[in-house]
């Protein structure tokens, strides 16, 4: 046998794997196809912080094991840096920042001793009730794909394998173990899979299957998804592993379906069971060789690469990493309403202020499922404001349950900040034993918080509502009664500091919504958290609102800042491969700030049923007051294609398209022009 050494090229790795497969016994091959984690360990680790789950590896053949750890809001092993949740990061529309976050995560995974990161969660936010909305980046496949690719780039730079999950159509939590998703071919290819394809193209080397079924077959057994689409159409060379414990239902189902590894331990991929299935002719030797080969090839590819640096434990949760968590929290908050420019508050004019709400004092970084990061510290909203102001202004905290005291405090202060919204009991990964998480039944705030908002707003005109949560919150009942609404998400370990810096104007908020906020839940697609079966249609989010003509409360891509931007001179040019668009953006206000420029393509002249428009490009730029920037965004022609289920191919229509550029998906925020292919 050859030696495994740093710097091996693809061919050498391939030859090594071939040779190993020739010498390995069936038992040794099956060991490559399982995780090594004990079930008790998994349950014990829930909530207490989790460790790394090993694969089996092979000492004899010198194949190191994979060492899995989870995310996405940081590495879930205690002490790690805790970032804002993915949906918040999606609201930053800043893929460079996401790559930096991936970079930090990659370093911390290595410093913890891991080499496989399960936190590239890129399921589509089809409906805001979805309990794990916070773990993904938004409702749009293009946006999700760009973010998933950026996280993958950052993580894999440190020779950590990234796992994109949950493949596929996993957008209901409570019924995740049983629900069957009915979906037509065009919807699957155009809406629910493009972001996975994007991550595979970026080089993401592992895929985790979803628990749910697609078209009657569990995703972990789904030959059509795993073999036809992923491994064949997309030419995916890495390995596929299951979700935890219930992701595989039978030996034959998983292995014929194309699932290479059963996680976190062997239940159906036990040697005895695999051997029997082989003897009965239910699976083939080639399938075993394929699975074991994929695992070994992928691991060798990573362990033989030179590391860009060393990974000391001191890197975990270090100051530099916490600063990136702060930057992410600052860049992701979305200002939804700011009448009379009440924000930023002027600390020289305020003598006393009040902070209301239970959520102001709890460490609320998101759900308590597999993505929970127990970090060194969490700056709560109250702590952040106290840190920022020191003794300069008197701060009164009121939890909000006693109406009389709420009224009297609200009356006597110069500004009132309400911290309201959700926590891990309301939404998140559903863990029945712990009675936490699951899908949301009600998209509004809790009644007591609505009452609190109304009460404070009636007593104080400088009333700022700060929303905490992982997806859309319906606000119709109270939104017209308050002048300021800021979406702050689950903003990670530095969230309270970021909030204070935004409220007092050290930071100009620049985030924009990565989903649509409805006025009425009836405007959304059908959702049933207990469904045995559900149909995912072609339209959801902004494509559904635009097609049906319903007006959202806040549109996809919308967000205010403390300054204003003006768009001018939209130009479009087309060459053989690309559509090249450019626009002038000017900061017309007095404050420096970031603008997120969005590019949409409209399909009015299409011969088939297509969305009114689709996001196809975006960029975030910083502009000083009066500064003007020429912003260029390219769209490859391929990216305009639709999937024709009859010809089973992607087709680019030769028609006139509308190109829109501007600051949100709302018609009034966009300039438009046309081009013809």
* Nearer residue to ligand BGC within complex by CB, 93 or 130: 130
**Binds ligand BGC by CB under 6 A, chosen from 171, 370, 386, 561:** 370
Supply the DSSP string of 385-403, one letter for each residue: HHHHHTTSSEEEEE-S--H
For the packed helices 194-202 and 141-156, what is the interaxial angle rounded to 10 degrees? Answer: 20
Q: CB of 193: closest distance to ligand BGC in angstroms?
A: 18
Q: CB of 266: closest distance to ligand BGC in angstroms?
A: 16
* Nearer residue to ligand BGC within complex by CB, 163 or 658: 163
What residue has token string 């709420």? 406
Q: Does 367 bind ligand BGC (CB under 6 A)?
A: no
Which residues 154-193 are close enough to bind ligand BGC by CB under 6 A?
Answer: 165
* Nearer residue to ligand BGC within complex by CB, 42 or 484: 42
What residue has token string 């995912």? 536
* Nearer residue to ligand BGC within complex by CB, 123 or 251: 123
Enter the DSSP assignment of 220. Answer: G
Cα 70 from Cα 135, distance rounded (Å): 12
Residues 665, 628 contacting (CB under 8 angstroms) = no
**Binds ligand BGC by CB under 6 A, chosen from 146, 243, 262, 330:** 243
Quick one: tokens of 556?
A: 């996809």
- Provide the mask over 560-599, with x wherever binding to ligand BGC is found by CB under 6 A and - wherever it is not: ----------------------------------------
Residues 6 or more apart whose CB falls under 8 angstroms from that of 37 comprise 53, 54, 263, 264, 265
* Nearer residue to ligand BGC within complex by CB, 122 or 328: 122
Q: Does 66 bind ligand BGC (CB under 6 A)?
A: no
- Provide the mask over 97-136, with x wherever binding to ligand BGC is found by CB under 6 A and - wherever it is not: ---------------------x------------------
CB atoms within 10 A of CB 606: 14
Residues 16, 2 contacting (CB under 8 angstroms) = yes
Residues 559, 513 contacting (CB under 8 angstroms) = yes
Peptide bond into 603 cis (omega under 30): no
Q: CB of 383: closest distance to ligand BGC in angstroms?
A: 29
Q: CB of 204: closest distance to ligand BGC in angstroms?
A: 15
Residues 6 or more apart whose CB falls under 8 angstroms from that of 114 comprise 52, 67, 68, 69, 75, 77, 160
Cα 75 from Cα 108, distance rounded (Å): 7
Size of the site for ligand BGC (CB under 6 A): 6
Candidates 54, 140, 243, 594; catalytic one: 243
Cβ-proximal residue to ligand BGC, closest one:
370
* Nearer residue to ligand BGC within complex by CB, 244 or 527: 244
Residues 6 or more apart whose CB falls under 8 angstroms from that of 297 comprise 13, 14, 17, 237
* Nearer residue to ligand BGC within complex by CB, 136 or 380: 136
Q: CB of 212: closest distance to ligand BGC in angstroms?
A: 11
Cα 588 from Cα 569, distance rounded (Å): 16
Q: Does 439 bind ligand BGC (CB under 6 A)?
A: no
Q: Does 244 bind ligand BGC (CB under 6 A)?
A: yes
Q: CB of 243: closest distance to ligand BGC in angstroms?
A: 5
Q: Does 140 bind ligand BGC (CB under 6 A)?
A: no
Cα 180 from Cα 213, distance rounded (Å): 4
Q: CB of 43: closest distance to ligand BGC in angstroms?
A: 11
243: annotated active-site residue: yes
* Nearer residue to ligand BGC within complex by CB, 332 or 370: 370
Q: Does 196 bind ligand BGC (CB under 6 A)?
A: no
Report residue 119: phi and psi, to 5°: -110, 20
Write the CA distances from 675 to 368, 531, 601, 617, 652, integer angstroms.
49, 44, 10, 16, 14
**Binds ligand BGC by CB under 6 A, chosen from 28, 70, 262, 327:** 70
Enter the DSSP assignment of 340. Answer: G
Q: CB of 424: closest distance to ligand BGC in angstroms?
A: 15
Enter the DSSP assignment of 361. Answer: S
Q: Does 221 bind ligand BGC (CB under 6 A)?
A: no
Pick from 152, 74, 161: nearest CA to 120: 152
Which residues carry out catalysis? Answer: 243
Q: Which residues bind ligand BGC (CB under 6 A)?
A: 70, 118, 165, 243-244, 370
């Amino acid at each position: 046998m050859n030696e495994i050494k740093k710097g091996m090229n693809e061919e050498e790795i391939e030859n090594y794997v071939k040779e190993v497969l020739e010498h390995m016994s069936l038992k040794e091959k099956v060991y490559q196809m399982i995780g090594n984690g004990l079930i008790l360990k998994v349950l014990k680790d829930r909530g207490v912080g989790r460790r790394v789950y090993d694969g089996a590896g092979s000492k004899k053949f010198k194949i190191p094991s994979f060492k899995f750890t989870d995310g996405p809001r940081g590495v879930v092993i205690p002490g790690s840096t805790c970032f804002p949740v993915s949906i918040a990061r999606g609201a930053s529309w800043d893929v460079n920042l996401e790559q930096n976050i991936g970079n930090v995560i990659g370093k911390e995974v290595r410093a913890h001793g891991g080499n496989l990161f399960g936190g590239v969660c890129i399921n589509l936010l089809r409906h805001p009730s979805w309990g794990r909305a916070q773990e993904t980046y938004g409702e749009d496949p293009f946006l999700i794909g760009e973010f998933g690719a950026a996280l993958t780039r950052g993580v894999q730079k440190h020779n950590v394998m990234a796992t994109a999950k949950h493949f596929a159509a996993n957008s209901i939590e409570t019924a995740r173990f049983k629900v069957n998703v009915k979906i037509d071919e065009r919807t699957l290819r155009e809406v629910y899979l493009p972001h996975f394809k994007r991550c595979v193209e970026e080089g993401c080397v592992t895929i985790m299957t979803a628990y749910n079924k697609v078209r009657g077959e569990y995703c972990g057994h789904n030959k059509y998804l795993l073999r036809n689409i992923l491994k064949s159409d997309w030419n995916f060379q890495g390995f596929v592993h299951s979700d935890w414990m219930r992701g595989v239902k039978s030996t034959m189902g998983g292995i014929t379906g194309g699932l290479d590894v059963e996680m976190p331990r062997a239940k159906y991929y036990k040697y005895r069971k695999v051997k029997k299935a082989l003897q009965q002719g239910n699976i083939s030797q080639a399938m075993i060789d394929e699975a074991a080969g994929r695992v070994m090839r992928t691991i060798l590819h990573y362990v033989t690469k030179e590391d860009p640096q060393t990974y000391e434990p001191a890197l975990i949760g270090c100051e530099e990493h916490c600063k990136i968590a702060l930057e992410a929290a600052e860049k992701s908050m979305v200002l939804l309403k700011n009448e009379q420019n009440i924000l930023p508050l002027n600390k020289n004019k305020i003598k006393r202020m009040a902070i209301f709400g239970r959520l102001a004092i709890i460490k609320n970084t998101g759900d308590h499922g597999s993505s929970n990061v127990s970090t060194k510290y969490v700056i709560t909203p109250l702590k952040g404001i106290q840190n920022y102001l020191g003794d300069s202004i008197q701060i009164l905290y009121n939890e909000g349950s006693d109406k009389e005291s709420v009224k009297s405090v609200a009356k006597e202060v110069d500004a009132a900040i309400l911290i309201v919204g959700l926590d891990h009991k309301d939404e998140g990964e559903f863990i029945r034993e712990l009675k936490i998480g699951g899908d949301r039944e009600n998209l509004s705030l809790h009644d007591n918080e609505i009452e609190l908002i109304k009460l404070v707003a009636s007593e104080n005109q400088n009333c700022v509502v700060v929303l905490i949560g992982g997806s859309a919150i319906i606000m119709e009942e109270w939104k017209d009664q308050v002048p300021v609404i800021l979406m702050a998400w689950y903003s990670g370990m530095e969230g309270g500091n970021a909030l204070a810096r935004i409220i007092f104007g050290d930071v100009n908020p620049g985030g924009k919504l990565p989903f649509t906020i409805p006025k009425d839940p009836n405007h959304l697609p059908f959702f049933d958290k207990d469904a045995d079966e559900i149909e995912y249609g072609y339209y959801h989010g902004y494509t559904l609102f635009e097609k049906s003509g319903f007006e959202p409360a806040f549109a996809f891509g919308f967000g205010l800042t403390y300054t204003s931007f003006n768009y001018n001179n939209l130009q479009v040019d087309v060459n053989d491969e690309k559509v090249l668009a450019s626009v002038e953006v000017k900061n017309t206000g007095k404050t420096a700030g970031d603008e997120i420029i969005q590019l949409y393509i409209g399909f009015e002249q299409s011969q088939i049923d297509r969305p009114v428009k689709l996001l196809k490009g975006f960029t975030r730029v910083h502009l000083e007051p009066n500064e003007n920037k020429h912003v260029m965004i390219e769209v490859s022609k391929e990216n305009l294609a639709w999937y024709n289920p009859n010809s089973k191919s992607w087709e680019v229509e030769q028609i006139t398209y509308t190109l829109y550029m501007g600051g949100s998906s709302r018609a009034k925020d966009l300039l438009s022009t046309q081009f013809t292919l």
